[in-house]
Amino acid sequence: MVKFLESFQKRDFGLLGLITIVVLTLIVSFLAFKSRDDQWNVWSQNKEIAFFNGSPLLSTADGPYFLDLSKSVKVGMSISSYNERRFFPEYDKEFRDKNNKTELSKPSFIEISLLSISINFFSKLFNGDLLKTANLIIPYTAFLTVLSITLFFIVLGFGFEGTITGLGASLSQSIFVRTSVGRVDTDLLNIGFFYSILTLIFLSIRSNDLKLKIFFISLCGLINFLFTWWYQHPGFIFPFVLTIILLQFLYKTSFKISISQIVLFLIFSGPSYVMRSAHSISSFIGEFLLFSPPETSTKVLKFPDTFQTITELQKLDFFEYFRIVIGEGSEWVGILGILGLIFFLFLNSKKSVVLFSAIIFLLMSVFIGKRFAIYAIPLYWFGFSYLFISIMLFLSKLINLKRLNSNVFRFLISTSTTIFLIIICVTNSLSMCENNLFFNCKPKYIPKPSFSSEITTAFDSLKSNNFDRRSVIVTWWDYGYWLNFFSGLSTVHDGGSQRSPKTYLVANSLTSASIEKSYNTINYIVSSDLETVYRDSKHDYEIFLKKISDSQPINRPVYLFLSRDMIRWWSTITYLGNWDIIKGNEQNKTIFERIDCKPKSQIEMQCGNSTLNVNTGSISNGNQLDKLVITQNGELIRDFDYRNKKGEVSMIIEIIDNKRFFYVVHPKTLESTFTKLYFQGLNDNKFFKLVQDGYPLYRIFEIKK
Q: Read off the pLDDT of residues 335-386 as tens digits, 9 standing for 90 and up.
A: 999 999 999 999 998 999 999 999 998 888 777 666 678 899 999 999 999 9
Query: Rounded mean pLDDT of 217-224?
Result: 97
Query: Rounded mean pLDDT of 209-228?
Result: 96
Bigger pLDDT: 283 vs 242: 242
Instruction: Inform me whether the pLDDT recorded for 588 exceeds 80.
Output: no
Tens of pLDDT along 6-21? Answer: 667 777 778 888 999 9
Residue from 322, 379, 352, 453 nearest 56 by CA: 453
Query: For residues 388 and 328, what is the distance between their CA atoms, to the nearest angstrom?
Result: 21
Query: Rounded mean pLDDT of 148-152?
Result: 97
Helices (H), 348-431: 349-352, 356-367, 377-399, 406-427
Query: Rounded mean pLDDT of 592-617?
Result: 91
Query: For residues 121 and 523, what is the distance between their CA atoms, to the nearest angstrom?
Result: 41
Instruction: Provide the pairing of β-strand 558-563 with 51-52.
Output: unpaired
Sheet of strand 625-632, all strands in order from the earlier edge strand to the far edge: 593-595, 659-665, 649-656, 625-632, 635-641
Tens of pLDDT along 173-206? Answer: 999 999 999 999 999 999 999 999 999 999 999 9
> In 10 A of CB 247, how many CB atoms?
22
Residue 296: per-residue pLDDT: 42
Proportion of the chain above pLDDT 70, given as a percent? 92
Bigger pLDDT: 149 vs 643: 149
Bigger pLDDT: 495 vs 307: 495
Tens of pLDDT along 92-122? Answer: 888 888 888 877 777 778 889 999 999 999 9
Residue 409: per-residue pLDDT: 76
Tens of pLDDT along 401-414? Answer: 555 556 777 888 88
How many degrees, rounded to 5, is the angle at CA 30 between CA 26 and CA 35? 155
Sheet of strand 472-474, all strands in order from the earlier edge strand to the far edge: 490-491, 472-474, 558-563, 698-703, 688-694
Residues written for the chain: 705
Residue 284: per-residue pLDDT: 63
Bigger pLDDT: 668 vs 86: 668
Tens of pLDDT along 435-460? Answer: 888 889 999 999 999 999 999 999 99
Residue from 525, 529, 526, 545 nearest 537 by CA: 545
Tens of pLDDT along 503-514? Answer: 999 999 999 999
Query: For residues 268 and 246, what is the distance between their CA atoms, to the nearest angstrom?
Result: 20
Residue 355: per-residue pLDDT: 95
Domains of the chain, each with CATH number or no CATH? 2-56+138-268+313-427 (no CATH), 79-134 (no CATH), 453-577 (3.40.1380.40), 593-703 (no CATH)
How many degrees, rounded to 5, is the angle at CA 436 between CA 432 and CA 438? 75
Instruction: Inform me whether the pLDDT recorded for 466 exceeds 80.
Output: no
Using CB atoms within 10 A of its CB, is residue 106 exposed (0-12), middle (13-18) or buried (19+)?
exposed
Instruction: Inform me whether the pLDDT recorded for 23 exceeds 90.
Output: yes
Please state the three-class secondary structure of 60-83 as a single string.
CCCHHHHHHHHHHHHHCCCHHHHH
- If phi > 0 it is left, if psi is from -120 to 50 it is alpha, else beta; for residue 622 that is left
Highest mean pLDDT among 322-331, 481-490, 586-595: 481-490
Instruction: Inform me whether the pLDDT recorded for 310 exceeds 70.
Output: no
Instruction: Inform me whether the pLDDT recorded for 273 exceeds 50.
Output: yes
274 phi/psi in degrees, rounded to 5 = -60, -40
Crossing angle of the two packed helices 271-284 and 255-269, in degrees rounded to 10: 90
Instruction: Inform me whether the pLDDT recorded for 2 exceeds 60.
Output: no
pTM of the model: 0.91
Mean pLDDT computed over every residue of the chain: 89
The rounded Cα 406 to chain-centroid distance in angstroms is 49
Query: Rounded mean pLDDT of 316-332?
Result: 81
Query: Rounded mean pLDDT of 645-657?
Result: 90
Task: Please report, for residues 99, 371, 463, 566, 698, the alpha-carbon distance to residue 457 in angstroms, rounded to integers and kept in the order given.
Answer: 36, 32, 10, 17, 11
Using CB atoms within 10 A of its CB, is residue 434 exposed (0-12), middle (13-18) or buried (19+)?
exposed
Handedness of CA 412, 416, 417, 418 (dihedral sign): positive
How many degrees, rounded to 5, is the angle at CA 372 between CA 492 and CA 329? 115
